[in-house]
């Protein structure tokens, strides 16, 4: 998500949940917060499927990616990520640019009031993925370069040794996101503090989506989407003033890239 008035590591612009730094750096990414969000309804989600808010098991999406898609190698992870042109098209912008990339997880667990909900607030977090058996990660952040950027996107591709392990993480994430729905999360990194509201989980058996809204931020909100495809987890955050299903669209395109 984006974080309120917190300057990024590479500029003073407001950002989303996590803002990646250069992959050669070791300092953690700043988050994506901004001055606050409001809740939004979620309509159709990944791969044109529609689903109501659920807490139980979802029915398989007929438009889901092929279950027999070949496994990916680490060298193919970069190709799963969307181009900046695709990101701009989905977000309705023409000036977003890549502002940070990482090939490692980060840890913001000490900054949040509910560490068990870390995965509903931040992407590419070591405490969330650490025991899942992942073997590689690619994470990229993009936004407009302006000090008051209108959009913020994070896309993450996480490699597993098998499709079964990726699916296990998907199932675990569904349980975690559902448990955190309705929770208010305070974030304090020692420089800034702000609060996010986690909305209800919407799920099919191929994608999870959830809206997070930042308090007192003039309508700034983020959609979070996660899907499993072959031996990869794809995760996306799309933040704006009035988030729709942009993160689900990004995740769907990442799934397409993974099976091409």
Do the beta carbons of residue 60 and residue 46 sit within 8 Å? no
Mean of pLDDT values over 203-228: 96
Mean pLDDT score of the chain: 81
The order of strands in the sheet holding 232-241 is: 97-102, 136-143, 151-159, 232-241, 220-229, 208-214, 193-203, 184-188
For the four alpha carbons of 232, 102, 141 and 109, in that order, the dihedral sign comes to: positive
User: Quick check: 23 pLDDT over 80?
Assistant: no
- Which of the listed CATH numbers 3.90.1150.10, 3.40.1000.70, 3.30.1740.10, 3.40.50.620 matches domain 2-259? 3.40.1000.70
Which whole number is the average pLDDT over 98-124?
A: 96
Asked if pLDDT for residue 47 goes beyond 80, the answer is no
Mean pLDDT, residues 53-74 taken together: 59
pTM of the model: 0.80
Of 1-15, 110-124, 201-215, 245-259, the poorest mean pLDDT is in 1-15
101 pLDDT higher than 50: yes
Give how far Cα 252 sits from Cα of 23, 35, 123, 206, Å.
25, 29, 17, 10
| 48 burial level (CB within 10 Å; 0-12, 13-18, 19+) | exposed
pLDDT at residue 26 tops 60: no
Question: Is a pLDDT exceeding 90 seen at residue 11?
Answer: no
């Amino acid at each position: 998500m984006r974080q309120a008035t917190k300057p990024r590591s590479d500029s003073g612009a407001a950002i989303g949940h996590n803002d990646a730094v250069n992959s050669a750096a070791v300092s953690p990414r700043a988050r994506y917060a901004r001055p606050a969000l409001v809740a939004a309804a979620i309509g159709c989600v990944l791969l044109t499927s529609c689903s109501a808010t659920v807490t139980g098991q979802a029915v398989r999406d007929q438009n889901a990616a092929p279950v027999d898609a070949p496994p990916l190698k680490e060298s193919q992870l970069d190709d799963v990520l969307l181009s900046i042109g695709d990101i701009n098209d989905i977000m309705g912008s023409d000036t977003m640019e890549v502002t940070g990339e990482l090939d490692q997880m980060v840890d913001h667990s000490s900054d949040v009031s509910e560490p068990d909900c870390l995965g509903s607030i931040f992407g590419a977090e070591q405490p969330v993925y650490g025991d899942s058996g992942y073997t590689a990660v690619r994470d990229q952040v993009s936004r407009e370069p302006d000090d008051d950027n209108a959009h913020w996107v994070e896309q993450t591709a996480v490699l597993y040794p098998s499709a079964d392990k990726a699916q296990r993480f998907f199932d675990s994430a569904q349980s975690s996101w559902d448990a955190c729905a309705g929770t208010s999360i305070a974030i304090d990194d020692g420089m800034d503090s702000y609060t996010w509201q986690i909305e209800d989980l919407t799920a099919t058996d191929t994608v999870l989506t959830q809206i997070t809204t930042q308090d007192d931020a003039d309508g700034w909100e983020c959609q979070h989407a996660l899907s499993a495809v072959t031996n990869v987890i794809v995760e996306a955050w799309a933040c704006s003033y009035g988030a729709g299903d942009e993160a689900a669209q990004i995740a769907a395109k990442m799934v397409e890239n993974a099976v091409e």
